[in-house]
């Protein structure tokens, strides 16, 4: 198949997986082949708890996945920089977050990455919280080489569709949905669900959707058209409805997550799932619908604790890495090999941390981080 045909079919598979989690393995295998890598994974990591959760994956060695969860997530030198510097939708590789020579010198690389023959990875951030993030990643083996421009281009084509599929999967709680009975199955959702045609006319709504329309606070019907009270959101939705008629790929970045404001100032978000391709097509044909719209309350967007700490004390990226390594491992002799740095370099960064934070003991730095990472911190 031509590359364009490949990516169109792959995007359709990604959206089908948003309704049936059993399809994720196949979608990830094809995505891995398209991006050109050895493994593909949808997972999350938490910097506060130093934990990792693998939601869906293909190509990974189960033994190494377990080792990562048990040991190496705590030693991963890109965990904190990713939380600190990446934004949802960003496409990043290892060198975007840490100097590659430091990565090669780290315990994480020597003990977990290199034994598997991996050399690099490329990922896109799907979601972020105050202490963690979810992402889709493709790992590159020695035979693939380091991430290059072609790799970034391919990941860029898939990234918005993974974001939309994962967001919708969260809304429907990852329960299997038969596409032919989509509307019936989703009627019990807490989120408002609307099936619309290319012109934005509502052809079906679930109970929560009818309540939203009746309340006339977040969404409404103007004439026969589904509309948001928030004018920018309404324009974005109108465009994505029209794009959905063309197919999955045409939707692209539009409608991944459309922010909406209610009349009372509360914030909502809408996600649009095309219904013109793949296993979802039967539901669209049944209701003459081109897209399903999911509307839910948006989570409170608070500053990241790590970002706040970094800004308050004007810490450099290297100092942040040393700070969190000190918290995790405790001493300069242990931190140096973990980060792939010499002991004098770690001591120099540590001295700068003492000066900037007004502390003089490692124990004080641990307490400082604990205060900022606490969910009760302001």
Per-residue pLDDT, 375: 44
Radius of gyration of the CA atoms of the chain, in A: 23
168-210 tens-digit pLDDT = 877 765 455 555 555 565 666 778 889 898 888 898 888 889 9
pTM over 0.85, yes/no: no
What string of pLDDT tens digits covers the 378 residues of the chain? 455 677 888 998 999 888 888 899 999 999 999 999 999 999 999 877 778 999 999 999 999 999 999 999 999 999 889 988 888 899 999 999 999 999 999 999 999 999 999 999 999 999 887 778 899 999 999 999 999 999 999 999 999 999 988 888 777 654 555 555 555 656 667 788 898 988 888 988 888 899 999 998 999 999 889 999 989 999 988 888 888 877 777 777 666 778 899 988 889 989 888 887 766 766 555 557 888 888 988 865 555 667 778 888 888 888 988 888 888 777 888 888 888 888 999 899 999 999 998 988 888 888 887 777 654 444
Q: All domains of the chain, ordered by start, with CATH?
A: 3-171 (3.30.450.40), 179-297 (3.30.450), 305-373 (1.10.10.10)
Per-residue pLDDT, 85: 85
Per-residue pLDDT, 1: 42
Q: Strand, helix or coil at 24? A: helix
């Amino acid at each position: 198949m031509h590359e364009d045909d490949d990516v169109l079919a792959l995007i359709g598979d990604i959206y089908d997986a948003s309704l049936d989690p059993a399809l994720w393995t196949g979608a990830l295998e094809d995505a891995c082949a398209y991006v050109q890598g050895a493994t593909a994974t949808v997972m999350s990591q938490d910097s506060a708890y130093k934990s990792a959760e693998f939601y869906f994956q293909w190509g990974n060695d189960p033994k190494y996945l377990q080792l990562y969860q048990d040991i190496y997530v705590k030693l991963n030198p890109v965990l904190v920089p990713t939380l600190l510097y990446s934004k949802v939708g960003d496409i990043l590789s290892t060198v975007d977050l840490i100097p590659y020579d430091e990565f090669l010198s780290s315990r994480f690389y020597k003990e977990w990455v290199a034994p598997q023959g991996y050399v690099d990875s490329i990922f896109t951030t799907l979601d972020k919280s105050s202490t963690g993030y979810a992402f889709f990643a493709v790992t590159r083996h020695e035979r693939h080489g380091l991430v290059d421009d072609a790799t970034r281009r391919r990941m860029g084509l898939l990234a918005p569709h993974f974001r939309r599929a994962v967001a919708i999967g969260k809304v429907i709680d990852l329960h299997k949905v038969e596409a032919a009975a989509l509307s019936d199955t989703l009627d019990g959702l807490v989120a408002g669900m609307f099936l619309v045609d290319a012109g934005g006319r509502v052809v079906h709504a679930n109970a929560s959707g009818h309540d939203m329309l009746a309340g006339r606070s977040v969404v409404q019907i103007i004439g026969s058209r589904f509309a948001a009270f928030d004018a920018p959101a309404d324009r974005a939705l109108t465009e994505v409805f029209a794009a959905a008629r063309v197919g999955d790929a045409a939707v692209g970045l539009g409608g991944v997550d459309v922010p909406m404001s209610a009349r009372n100032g509360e914030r909502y978000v809408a996600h649009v799932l095309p219904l013109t391709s793949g296993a979802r097509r039967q539901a669209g044909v049944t209701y003459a619908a081109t897209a399903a719209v999911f509307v839910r309350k948006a989570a409170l967007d608070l500053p990241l604790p790590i970002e706040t700490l970094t800004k308050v004390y004007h810490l450099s990226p290297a100092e942040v890495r040393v700070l969190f390594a000190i918290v995790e491992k405790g001493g300069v002799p242990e931190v140096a090999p973990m980060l792939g740095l010499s002991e004098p370099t770690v001591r120099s960064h540590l001295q700068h941390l003492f000066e900037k934070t007004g502390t003089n003991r490692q124990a004080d730095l641990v307490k400082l981080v604990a205060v900022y990472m606490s969910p009760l911190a302001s």
